[in-house]
Amino acid sequence: MLQAQAISERGEDNLKMQDDILFALGANLESSVGAPEDTVKAALQEMVKKGALIRNLSPLYSTPAFPAGNGPDYVNAAVRIRAPWSPDQALAICHEIEALMGRERVTRWGQRTLDIDLIAMGQIVLPDAQTHAEWRNLPLDAQQQRTPDQLILPHPRLQDRAFVLVPLADVAPDWVHPLLGCCVSQMRDALDPLDLAAVKALE
């Protein structure tokens, strides 16, 4: 329904489309619109309002909080869209929708009403391959303490996270990481089977 609505309201031919944009969404607290499942669905509707053409949408998944024991299980999803957005615009829209749903940025990796991660925009690498490698290889304890002061694309930790890669494989299994040279399905299959098994479809 979201995809049909986006096409009928805007028309794909009338948009100056960029390469496919990949997002991961997650929530584990109630928001102003309801339960985490409702929040994720409402966030997708907001993307459409802001110009997104949804091309593929994953089922909703239940996943353990990350890090382990950090609150209730999450509801996660992934979406592949087309939109006339620059990387900075896409990130700003993520933050706008998160704020609309009551997101407060207090604790890194804390519980949240909504988290929208900009995963990738085509084959764009930002800010450069060397900086990306530094963030990609950052030890876990440092990841919990440090936040980039600039946009890093593709998301530097997407290859490590089952809660991202399982839904992402539903919408963009053949997207190839421009620096790692692996597609989404390959990165998913390289993860620990126990981590993969913990990501359970809700629909």
Q: How many Cβ atoms are within 10 Å of 43's Cβ, its own excluded?
A: 25
Model confidence over 119-141: pLDDT tens digits? 999 999 999 999 999 999 988 77
State the residue for tokens 């053409």. Answer: 53
State the residue for tokens 């421009």. Answer: 178
Q: Which residues of the chain have pLDDT under 70?
A: 1-18, 66-69, 103-111, 142-145, 203
Supply the pLDDT for residue 140. 72
**Residue 10: strand, helix, or coil:** helix
**Residue 14: strand, helix, or coil:** helix
pTM over 0.85: yes
Q: How many angstroms separate the CA atoms of 161 and 85, rounded?
A: 26
Supply the pLDDT for residue 5. 38
Q: How many Cβ atoms are within 10 Å of 108's Cβ, its own excluded?
A: 10
Who contacts 131 (Cβ-Cβ below 8 Å, separation ≥6)?
152
Name the domain count of the chain.
1
Show the domain range for 78.
2-201
How far does the chain reach from its first CA to its final CA, in angstroms? 16
Supply the pLDDT for residue 149. 85
Q: Which tokens belong to 201?
A: 């479809």
CA distances from 166 to 28, 102, 160, 172 (A): 18, 26, 11, 10
Strand ranges (DSSP E) for the chain? 21-27, 53-57, 61-63, 74-82, 115-121, 200-201
CA distances from 160 to 140, 184, 203 (A): 11, 11, 24
Cα 139 to the center of its chain, rounded Å: 21
Q: How many angstroms separate the CA atoms of 76 and 62, rounded?
A: 6
**Residues β-bridged to residue 183:** 176
Supply the pLDDT for residue 144. 65
Q: How many angstroms separate the CA atoms of 159 and 136, rounded?
A: 9
The CATH number assigned to the domain holding 190 equals 3.30.70.560
